Amino acid sequence: MKPKFTLIIAFAMAANCIQAQCDPELYEKLSETFPQFMLLKRFPVTVKKIEGVPFSLEYTYVLTAKTKYGFYLEHSLASEGKVKMRLQDANGVDWTQSLRPSEVGEGKMMILECPTTSVYHIFLYANQSFNGCAVLQLSYLTKKQQPCDLDLLQKLENSIDKSKSIVRQFISLSQEFQYSYVFTKDADYQIYVERVDGKKDGIKFSFLNSEREPITQRMIKKESDRGLKYVFNCKTTGIYYINASVEGEKPCAVVQISNVESK
């Protein structure tokens, strides 16, 4: 059985910070870092200078025990300043001691062998805001897995309903996987799981609340030619868990969460 991967995304953003795309040269540096790791997420952030105002940004992740994670923070060459990074677990213990200069750029990087499954806080900060752009990249080390067929994966992504407001999309290469997401009260969500090979059979799905109890009410199953599709009416803001398993030699699947209009 392959290890399960749990991920929660939540963030608070300062008034002097907007999400934007950095220059292509920066992404080339990112792609050269931790080549043996699998990319989880890149967060590009453009900082706007406001005199006398510091910069602060926080990302919150649930990291899984016995998994190696790579953190890489890099800046655009045109940036007028740099942000610092600090990593803390839920108990406030600082794990940034191993942060070191980048091997391919001007940023900072570190590897964390996660000791226990827990919420970890990634703080980006600067005493004075500045005009510039940075990217925080998070990746993890995984056992060798057979990659998805890129052509099939592109067809799959093109087939997903883009008319909905997509809030998160995951791509899994594992036969079993778990993702976590913060759902908001009084919102309707569509959860869609589809195999790359287009087969409906061989997908098992369960949805759990923050207490890891199965949710059966307010979960409406929709007809789909490919994969599984559910609509969930959320009554309580909190962390929810998506568990799924996919059979087959190429167990590649996409999980999409999107907002839908309440009827």
pLDDT over 60 at 19, yes or no: no
Residue 86 pLDDT: 92
Average pLDDT on 168-196 reads: 77
Spell out the domains of the chain, with CATH numbers in brackets. 10-141 (2.60.120.380), 150-260 (2.60.120.380)
Give tens-digit pLDDT for 77-111. 778 888 899 999 888 899 988 888 877 677 888 88
Q: Is the pTM of this model over 0.85?
A: no
Mean pLDDT of 50-59: 90
Give me 59's structure tokens.
């990302």
- The string of DSSP codes covering 84-114 is EEEEEETT--B--TT-EE-SSSSSEEEEEE-
Spatial distance between the Cα atoms of 94 and 12, rounded to a whole number of angstroms: 20
Q: Cα(227)–Cα(155) distance, rounded to whole angstroms?
A: 14
Q: Which amino acid is at 74?
A: E
Helix, strand, coil distribution of the chain in percent, nearest 5: 5, 50, 45
Mention every residue, 6+ apart, whose C-beta is less than 8 A from residue 8.
60, 61, 62, 119, 180, 181, 182, 239
pLDDT tens-place string over residues 190-213: 888 877 666 767 788 888 888 888
